Amino acid sequence: MAQQQPAPSTNPQQPPPPTLTNPRFTLELEFVLSLANPHYLSHLAVNYPNLLGTSSEKSDDSDTGTTSSPDAQAFAAYLAYLYSYWKTPEYAQFLTHPGATLRALRLLQEEAFRRDIIRPQVIEGLLGMGTEGVQSSQDTEPAAAGAEQGTDNAERQNGVKT
């Protein structure tokens, strides 16, 4: 009897092969590349607060717990899944801005960052991260500043620059 190999889609945690002809790969590549844009992160926070747990309507949603909503949990798990393989050299080679993209994916792993991304100061701080000198806007964003600092160290160790 010939051995049957399982279908590639049987394990949803298995990333698609890194080939530009794979529709799932190209869709995920486009999405992770868009995460490098702080304005896109702001767009997500403003227009889809249920995904990031940034809903400011705490009095209306206090019964449901916005940060632990099923949508927010599922999106956080999806971001963790994306980060787990886009940080590998096999996939990172396809990133046009690997430093900014991986930094955004890394920061999005933290609930505090997902919650604070709605603040304009956080977006301004991320925009300042792309310049040669990091501006002092980190002083106004304690939740994101520590995460960015740790990510910068990890990026330097991996040889990834913004």
Q: Residue 69 has what pLDDT?
A: 83
Q: How many domains does the chain have?
A: 1
3-state secondary structure of 97: coil
Q: Mutual orientation of helices 38-47 and 120-129 as an angle, nearest 10°?
A: 160
Inside any domain, residue 6: no
Separation of alpha carbons 25 and 31, rounded Å: 10
What are the pLDDT digits (tens) for 62-81?
Answer: 444 444 688 889 999 999 99
The answer to the question of residue 45 being in a domain is yes
Q: From CA 149, how far away is CA 6, in angstroms rounded?
A: 42
For residue 79, the enclosing domain spans: 19-158
Query: Percent of the chain scored above 70 by pLDDT?
Result: 62
* Two tokens, residue 133: 């000198």
In a domain, 11, yes or no: no
Q: Does residue 120 fall inside a structural domain?
A: yes
- Whether 150 is covered by a domain: the verdict is yes
Separation of alpha carbons 114 and 105, rounded Å? 11
Residue 89 lies in a domain: yes
Task: With respect to residue 4, please indicate whether it lies within any of the assigned structural domains.
Answer: no
Lowest mean pLDDT among 2-11, 35-44, 144-153: 144-153
Return the pLDDT at 56: 53
In a domain, 13, yes or no: no
